[in-house]
Amino acid sequence: MTGTDTAMTEIRDLLLSRIRDVPDYPTPGVLFKDITPLLADPAAFAALTGALADLCARTGATKVVGLEARGFILGAPAALRAGLGFIPVRKAGKLPGATLSQSYDLEYGSAEIEVHAEDLAAGDRVMVIDDVLATGGTAEASLRLIRRAGAEVAGVAVLMELGFLGGRERLVPALDGAPLEALLTV
Ligand SMILES: O=P(O)(O)OC[C@H]1O[C@H](OP(=O)(O)OP(=O)(O)O)[C@H](O)[C@@H]1O
Ligand SMILES: Nc1ncnc2[nH]cnc12
């Protein structure tokens, strides 16, 4: 193992130790991955945003899209650390300007996301950041928004992939060769 591999293993162990499992939330049968203990630990939060910023740099991203709401908490500091602009993709009805909208299904419900049309354009290479990849519906919908705006997808980076929900299998074909990076797979 290289020094970098060892450092990443230590970071992954730290991140994993700060995620709390909450059974049957928000509905029976869902094991909710609560990241609030991680956010409350500045060493873990800094390690996470640093790792996400490195992924932005490695993929040549020029902008970061964060997915409401937890993707804002991780994506905005990662964008700042990478020296990139941050673009919020919000749940429908929250953005005041002209928007592009996309509907999608969740592990527990359905939703619609929007982006300001003027925030993305041809020539942008966009890294999508979120906390959890579950079914992949949210991330897939964000890829559609990015491409409909004329921009290119640099990749998707998440703190955690819930492997048993098949989000990767859904997302990889939609990524068209761009990387899907999950710091943890649970
Ligand atoms: O892969 P998927 O099945 O689409 O699920 C993943 C999404 O679900 C959660 O967001 P949620 O919509 O619960 O919103 P929140 O961040 O506002 O809590 C999570 O933060 C991801 O965005
Ligand atoms: N099980 C889960 N835990 C946390 N966030 C989620 N988003 C979708 N599924 C989730």
Annotation marks residue 70 as catalytic: yes
Short-list 178, 44, 80, 64, CA closest to 124: 64
Annotation marks residue 168 as catalytic: no
* CA dist., res. 41 & res. 88, Å (int): 24
Residue 186 DSSP one-character state: -
Report pLDDT digits (tens) over 84-133. 999 999 999 999 999 999 998 876 678 999 999 999 999 999 999 999 99
Report pLDDT digits (tens) over 138-183. 999 999 999 999 999 999 999 999 999 999 999 999 999 999 999 9
What type of residue is 74?
Answer: L
Residue of 22, 67, 171, 185 best suited for mutating to test ligand 1, as the one with most atoms within 8 Å of CB: 67
Quote the ligand 2 centre to 86 CA distance (angstroms): 23
pLDDT, position 22: 98
* CA dist., res. 119 & res. 100, Å (int): 10
Asked if pLDDT for residue 52 goes beyond 80, the answer is yes
Q: Output the six-digit token pair for 133.
A: 């990849």
